[in-house]
Amino acid sequence: MYGNIAKAGRKDNKTRYLEKQLSVLNASLHQAETIKTCIEQQMDNLDVTDTHYDKKISDLQRRLDTQYDKIDEVEEAIATERLIIDRIIAKIYSII
C-alpha cells in the first residue's frame, strides 16, 4: 500500500518537472510565432521598386522558412511532453 503511494509521489514530481519543461516549450513557441509574424510584416512592407528587393525578399523568405521549421520542432516537442505527462498520470491513477 505505502509503496504505491511512494511511487505516485515520485511520478507526481516527474510530472511537475515535465510541466515546467512544457511551460518553457510554450514560451519558445510563442517567441517563434512572434518572430514569424514580424518577418511576415517586413515582407509585406517591402518596396517592390527597391533595387535590392529580390535580395531582401529572398533573405526574409529564408528566415521565415527557418521560423516555420522551428515552430514545427517545438510543436512536436510539446506533443511529446504532453503524451509523456498523460502516460505518467494514467499510471498514477492505475496504481492508487
Question: For 23-47, how does the pLDDT look when each residue is reduced to its tens digit (9 = 90+)?
Answer: 999 999 999 999 999 999 999 999 9
Three cell numbers, residue 7: 511511487
* Percentage of the residues of the chain whose pLDDT score is greater than 70: 85
pTM of the model: 0.79
Residue 61 has pLDDT above 90, yes or no: yes
The DSSP code for 96 is -
The CA distance from 42 to 56, in Å, is 10
